[in-house]
Structure 1
Amino acid sequence: MAKSRHDASEEQTGSAEHRQSGEHAGGGMGMRGVSRPMHESHDHGMSDSQRSEMLRMHHQQTLWVYWTILLVGVWVLLSPVTFGYGKAMVVPSGERGVWFSSLTHDELRATLMTFSDVASGLLLLVFGWRALRPNRPVSLWVCCFVGVWLNVAPVLFWAPTAAAYLNGTIAGALLIALTILIPGMPNMIMYMQMGPPTPPGWSYNPSSWPQRWIMIVTGFAGWIVSRYLAAFQLGYIDQIWEPFFGQGTRQVLNSDMSHMWPISDASLGALAYTFEFLMGYMGSPARWRTMPWMVAFFGILVIPLGLTHIVLVISQPVVVGHWCTLCLLAAAIMLPMIPLEVDEVVAMGQHMIDAKRRGDRGGSLWTIFWKGGQADDCTADERSPELMQLPERPGRVFVASIWGMSFPWTLIATSAIGIWLMFAPTVFALQQSTETFDAADVMHLGGALILTTAVIAMGEVLRLGRFLNVVLALLVIGLPWLLTGGDTASHINNAVCGIAVILLSIPRGPKQEMYGRWDRFVR
């Protein structure tokens, strides 16, 4: 749709105001064309009629998005007859059954996927048509959740063909983008409170685009790796790449540990990474304040679920008796995401406490959680570089993307000791068995957990977590003496490594940023 000169003039004026308010300096993607009208204004006193008119104009400018939802609905509706879900079906790797069954239930899986796509397509046609009119947030959210479901269905139903899996995940991701990423949150114009994006007392904005860019990149990388592992588990490919550990990856993916789940655990990981990747795009550079619910859900995906994923991977040599290179790669991608995301969660938590005390949204914590609060004491983001500078100044943008992390030599050395402990049982030729818990297992798990703790503690808001390594080091020193499988050389090695970890965990290391009231916990 061509824009009139009046519209272009308005956008230029809005851009100037946007830069003055400091949000434009928050990374350079805050406006995204016409899709962020509220981010072009810093007027806190807009009337309901003005907001309604802005909503109408925004809907008119993004009307193509809602028509595209209808087209995706037609695509999804006709996918089963186009791609033939019931033809050339595959069985999961290792000839495992599905849903804790000993059978593969090929016909049932094809039927469920067909029904899912037909029902999803019909819902998109009905609610996509309703969304063609402005002020229809429920219809847009229904279309968004259809997109979520299209990502879930191939995992839950063990999609019997690669086409069914790919079609569902790509169409689902596209729908999420069309409903809440490109046009923004439905009807957020009606309640969003504007203001500068940097939290009170903070030296940087944890929701700036450079800060989110690194999360988008790592989330996408994790998605690609996990999807490849899922393709093997679901039976779409017969071979899996393993450069270092022989048949280790195949053994892990077909192990009893993997079969503990009623669905493919690799495809579940790919699903989590999909949402992490997409959620990186959600919201403005002030989303820690305007969208606490989204930051909270993003934090849950990255922090507790990420830790669970990492723990499962590091337990593989103990439970299965094999290493998996790509599983280690997926865990290595997830590990730095935790300290990179936790600062945004801290900023969100601080804001909710402040907003509750001020009486924002009538003092309702529940309403603040879903709609955000005021920008009292926030400051302009004059520090974050523009994301568009990445091709010319990649170093500057990358450094800005990891603000909130610092790398004391003590934590780097602790990480190196953790890596050594993971592989020390092989160096010392220690005997180990999946039937018993022995000294080699302590070294494997202890080293991996020490490494994990050290990397997470590189996030300054979690620097206190380094003291957990003191406990882990004591276990590495003492437990092998009580178990079988160790020898004198390995015990001496464990003692030296454990004492070193304890000593290295004492100093805090440099603190480079400020975090408002959280500063007192960075010690």
Structure 2
Amino acid sequence: MSLSFRNLFFVKKDLFSQEKQTAHEEHHRKVSWAYYGIIVLGLWLIANPPTFGYTVPEMIWSDILTGFALIFFSYFALKPYKLWAQWALVFLGVWLLIAPMVFWSKEEAGLLSNYLIGTLVVCFAIVIPSQPGIKLFAQPGPNVPPGWTYNPSSWNQRVPVLFFAWVGFFVARYMGAFQFEFINTVWDPFFGDGTRKVLTSKVSESFPVSDAMLGAFSYIMDILFAYAGGTHRWRTMPWVVLIFGFLIVPLGVVSITLVILQPVSVGYWCSLCLTSAFISLIMIPFTVDEVLATTQLMLYEKKERNRSYWTTFWFGGTMEGGSVEEVSNPATLLEKTLREAAGDFKSLPWNLLLIIPVGAWIMAAPAVLGYGGGTITDSNHIVGALVVTFAVIAMSEVARTARYIHLLFGIWLIAAPWVLGTGNNEAAMWNGVASGAVLLLLCFPKGKIQERRGSYDKYIK
């Protein structure tokens, strides 16, 4: 059957086989309790403004109208073929997460309540029941891609992301509470008043919303997208995997960029900002392999079945070959995840592990060696952060080839003292030459590649 984007929201049951209809209706019956839960959340939201004494008119109307909308769409979502209503609940949940940022709400209870209710709405609307109509659209197939030795969508691959995203959320929310003036001080264990000065700097204030709360929103979306879908989602829910990858990979790089701006544009370091950036960075290696599997699926569907990328993006597909991996028992999932994480850590290339402290030293060298200030210092801050960033990314076997970018960083560090000048500071010159030479030597070893990923293996050099 040919599917169009419109079918994602509006379907006619007679277009699907009886078997598909039965599976869809049975699945909907099992998860229908979630829509009753959203009705209760809608009533809770309507009661919030008078209960907590909201003073921001936009937040009052936002909560009341969104609450009624949740009740309205939940009523229709209880009908198995009203997919448009089920999708509307997802969008309303996301709106609740961003509304306090948009209106710069000073209602502490409103912010916390919106985050709690918004998160629960998205969980009840798409995490628990999965994608609306998934049983109608999903095709049978493997959960281990052809040519792969593991399942990139398995829970033990996603648990580390969930852990780090929750930690990142709490860190970002704490900084956001300071920007919203819910708290008067902000803690910084290493740089004194640095965190406060960064959070109140012109760079932070240039954002139309709180940049810290924007980070908290990004982390909560990481969490929700990590929870969404089962162990087949790399082929049944490509849109979830690719948006999840976008939230972590490009936005993680943006987070690193903001960290680079701290000493260059603001003039201070922020311990909590560095922590948040490192969390964003460390999640990337856990994400790129699932994105790779979904990309392979989309290319396969285009080549073998002539399906458009757009159709596969929303409705998924299947691949011949592959295998079915047994889903881990929840009681042993954490144990298996920790065991595999320990094994992965032991197998990390020694040279990439050494590059990380080299990058940290490049950032710290101007202050330690006493040549702070000037263009050469800004260069060290920027290049050092990028060295650490790409070393962590290259730890993923999928992105191992990215280690070669350190060749460029090494060459630049050697040349920078002559290009930018050092003010006759020999420490700056010899530090650049030595750091660059070390990077040139460390970027070549590939390390052990333990897993296989089909046709992509030939690109891992």
Shift of 1:462: 1.1
1:311 and 2:249 aligned: no
Shift of 1:285: 0.6
1:158 and 2:104 aligned: yes
Q: Which amino acid aligns with 1:215?
A: V
Mapping of residues 162-201 of structure 1, within 5 Å: 162-201=108-147
Shift of 1:393: 5.5
Shift of 1:56: 2.1
1:379 and 2:317 aligned: no
Q: 1:305 to 1:475 in 2, by over 3 A?
A: same
1:225: which partner in 2?
A: 171
1:474: which partner in 2?
A: 411
Find 1:74's aligned residue among 29, 43, 54. Answer: 43
1:53 and 2:35 aligned: no
Find 2:360's aligned residue among 419, 434, 439. Answer: 419
Within 2, Cα distance between the matches of 1:270 and 1:464? 31
CA contact 1:140–1:186 (8 Å) conserved in 2: yes
Higher mean displacement: 200-209 or 311-320: 311-320
Higher mean displacement: 223-232 or 184-193: 184-193
Q: 1:240 to 1:411 in 2, by over 3 A?
A: same
1:493: which partner in 2?
A: 431
Within 2, Cα distance between the matches of 1:442 and 1:244? 23
For residues 242-266 of structure 1, what are the alpha-carbon distances to aligned partners after superposition, in whole Å with 9 as ceiling and x for unaligned? Answer: 1111100000000011111111111
**Runs (5+) with no aligned partner, structure 1:** 1-45, 87-109
Q: Which amino acid aligns with 2:53?
A: G
Within 1, Cα distance between the matches of 2:65 and 2:77? 18
Kindly, what percent of the aligned residue pairs are identical? 40
Higher mean displacement: 307-316 or 173-182: 307-316
Shift of 1:62: 2.2
2:348: which partner in 1?
A: 407
Shift of 1:485: 5.2
Within 2, Cα distance between the matches of 1:77 and 1:483? 63
SS at match of 1:65: helix
Q: Which amino acid aligns with 2:378?
A: D
Shift of 1:406: 5.0
1:510 and 2:448 aligned: yes
Shift of 1:397: 4.8
Within 2, Cα distance between the matches of 1:47 and 1:251? 59
Find 2:218's aligned residue among 272, 291, 295. Answer: 272
2:3: which partner in 1?
A: none
Within 2, Cα distance between the matches of 1:72 and 1:225? 26
For residues 373-419 of structure 1, what are the alpha-carbon distances to aligned partners after superposition, in whole Å with 9 as ceiling and x for unaligned? Answer: 1231121225x75443145556325348x59x951111111112111
SS at match of 1:133: coil
CA contact 1:438–1:480 (8 Å) conserved in 2: no
SS at match of 2:287: helix
Q: 1:186 to 1:492 in 2, by over 3 A?
A: same
Within 2, Cα distance between the matches of 1:451 and 1:305? 16
CA contact 2:156–2:334 (8 Å) conserved in 1: no
SS at match of 1:380: coil
Find 1:245's aligned residue among 184, 191, 206. Answer: 191
Within 2, Cα distance between the matches of 1:53 and 1:477? 67
Within 2, Cα distance between the matches of 1:56 and 1:298? 28
Find 2:307's aligned residue among 356, 363, 374. Answer: 363
1:83 and 2:52 aligned: yes
1:439: which partner in 2?
A: 376
CA contact 1:296–1:345 (8 Å) conserved in 2: yes
Find 2:341's aligned residue among 398, 402, 409. Answer: 398
Within 2, Cα distance between the matches of 1:113 and 1:310? 32
2:331: which partner in 1?
A: 388
Q: Which amino acid aligns with 1:491?
A: M
2:11: which partner in 1?
A: none
Q: Which amino acid aligns with 1:501?
A: L
CA contact 2:397–2:449 (8 Å) conserved in 1: yes
Find 1:461's aligned residue among 387, 392, 398. Answer: 398
Within 2, Cα distance between the matches of 1:178 and 1:363? 31
SS at match of 1:303: helix
Within 1, Cα distance between the matches of 2:62 and 2:260? 36
Mapping of residues 86-97 of structure 1, within 5 Å: 86=55
1:134: which partner in 2?
A: 80
Within 1, Cα distance between the matches of 2:406 and 2:294? 28
Q: 1:478 to 1:49 in 2, by over 3 A?
A: same
Within 2, Cα distance between the matches of 1:395 and 1:57? 35
Within 2, Cα distance between the matches of 1:174 and 1:485? 58
Within 2, Cα distance between the matches of 1:248 and 1:164? 29
Higher mean displacement: 335-344 or 247-256: 335-344
Shift of 1:463: 1.2
Within 1, Cα distance between the matches of 2:410 and 2:267? 23
For residues 174-229 of structure 1, what are the alpha-carbon distances to aligned partners after superposition, in whole Å with 9 as ceiling and x for unaligned? Answer: 00000111122111111111222001111111100000111111111111110011
CA contact 1:463–1:508 (8 Å) conserved in 2: yes
Within 1, Cα distance between the matches of 2:47 and 2:85? 22
Find 1:330's aligned residue among 241, 253, 276. Answer: 276
SS at match of 2:406: helix
1:283: which partner in 2?
A: 229
Q: 1:399 to 1:350 in 2, by over 3 A?
A: farther
CA contact 2:256–2:385 (8 Å) conserved in 1: no
Within 2, Cα distance between the matches of 1:441 and 1:386? 50
Q: Which amino acid aligns with 1:502?
A: L
CA contact 1:415–1:454 (8 Å) conserved in 2: yes
Within 2, Cα distance between the matches of 1:485 and 1:241? 36
Count residues with an aligned counterpart. 446
For residues 58-97 of structure 1, what are the alpha-carbon distances to aligned partners after superposition, in whole Å with 9 as ceiling and x for unaligned? Answer: 22222221111111111111211111121xxxxxxxxxxx
With normalisation by structure 2, the TM-score equals: 0.93
With normalisation by structure 1, the TM-score equals: 0.82
CA contact 1:193–1:375 (8 Å) conserved in 2: no
Q: 1:458 to 1:387 in 2, by over 3 A?
A: farther
2:387: which partner in 1?
A: 450
CA contact 1:406–1:460 (8 Å) conserved in 2: no
